[in-house]
Structure 1
């Protein structure tokens, strides 16, 4: 009868070169688990969707910024235009108040009374007005233009072919293209029924040819 040594148990025989892991059966994959390739595709799809959302938001913010920039540029142009308009109106109002003084200076110059210190002051005032953009207009002999001339006297003259300014009673003034006072003038029109001078000259030349003797 064989006696067993107490405290020792028999172990199954393990082939040489085999590890303990080989002795245990491999764990079976969990039921229902998705393959690794499908998980990567799902993750990539999620990242792509997030990227599309970011791009959409970026496009919207860029459009908002461009719209705000355009509105700001329009606002600046409008403010600048209004500022220039207000300045022109203020200058025009100031110079309009000075026109009677400039008229007095002009009359004094015509009568030879612009002398001494008064002459220096008058010339300085005219220089300042010119720097502010004030321009005088109105000359004798120029055609009458109702947009810049105001006819105070009217007559007929045989030596004019159209309504003409024959005397400047009060000069006109403008600032740029804006007329602040029309030139007040005396005008002359052609005599009623009078033929134009060129037509008369042409008819006289024709009469001379008719009266000339024919060459035999």
Structure 2
């Protein structure tokens, strides 16, 4: 009677009764464990009546299935541990910078930034000063141009004011005509027009033009004793000097 092979444990490292090769333990290198099914074939040379029992192949088939399950589990664990290989070049960690060298580099960079900041600050201050001077110059030129334009218009009206002065001396500025003359004088005064040159004023060669000279014991300094034509100024600007007769002390 043929003896049935016993079912071996899947973890058994020895030879299986069915002639299977010994199972190698799984390693971390992902080595595939291959179990070949060398099942024991029935000897056909045996006489009739001594053939191997048909059920003797069942334990071998179960052993192969169990081994394949264990191999699949081992492969899954190895693949999960190793993970996919990186597609790019290997990453090499940069060497750590020394502490002292890094501090020196940062200090030098900080000094360079401070120097550049100081230079930019000086440039900004210089530009701001130039712009302030430019604004002052523009404002001064604008005021000068405005004053010159106003002076030109007022200088053209001075002969009319001279005629009004002569009419006033003769007593002709009466009624509506006198009212219009006063309104014109007031309106021109709002633009800064001022008249000067009265009898008894000290003679000022910068403001008076002497057309006659005489001596008098009644004066202690050169004095305007007669005003022939009044002078006008616009603010501090002289539009026209006054024509006067001057009396010098004896």
Question: How far apart are the structure 2 equivalents of 1:162 and 1:47?
Answer: 82
Question: How far apart are the structure 1 equivalents of 2:140 and 2:171?
Answer: 44
- Are residue 91 (structure 1) and residue 169 (structure 2) matched? no
User: Which residue is 1:43 aligned to?
Assistant: 102
State the TM-score, normalizing by the size of structure 1. 0.68
What's the CA shift for 1:58?
1.4
Question: How far apart are the structure 2 equivalents of 1:173 and 1:99?
Answer: 8
User: Which residue is 1:109 aligned to?
Assistant: 168
Deviations 1:165-210 (A, max 9, x none): 111111111122221111111112233xxxxxxxxxxxxxxxxxxx
What's the CA shift for 1:121?
2.1
For structure 2, which runs of at least 5 residues remain unmatched after alignment? 1-13, 16-21, 24-94
Between the two structures, name the one with larger relative contact order (CA 8 Å, sep ≥ 6).
Answer: 1
User: Which residue is 2:118 aligned to?
Assistant: 59
Question: How far apart are the structure 1 equivalents of 2:182 and 2:123?
Answer: 57
Question: How far apart are the structure 2 equivalents of 1:154 and 1:101?
Answer: 28
User: Which residue is 1:185 aligned to?
Assistant: 244
For structure 1, which runs of at least 5 residues remain unmatched after alignment? 9-34, 192-216
Question: How far apart are the structure 2 equivalents of 1:166 and 1:124?
Answer: 29
Q: How many residues align?
A: 161
User: Which residue is 1:69 aligned to?
Assistant: 128
User: Which residue is 1:212 aligned to?
Assistant: none
User: Which residue is 2:50 aligned to?
Assistant: none
Which structure is higher in helix share? Answer: 1
CA RMSD of aligned residues (A): 2.2
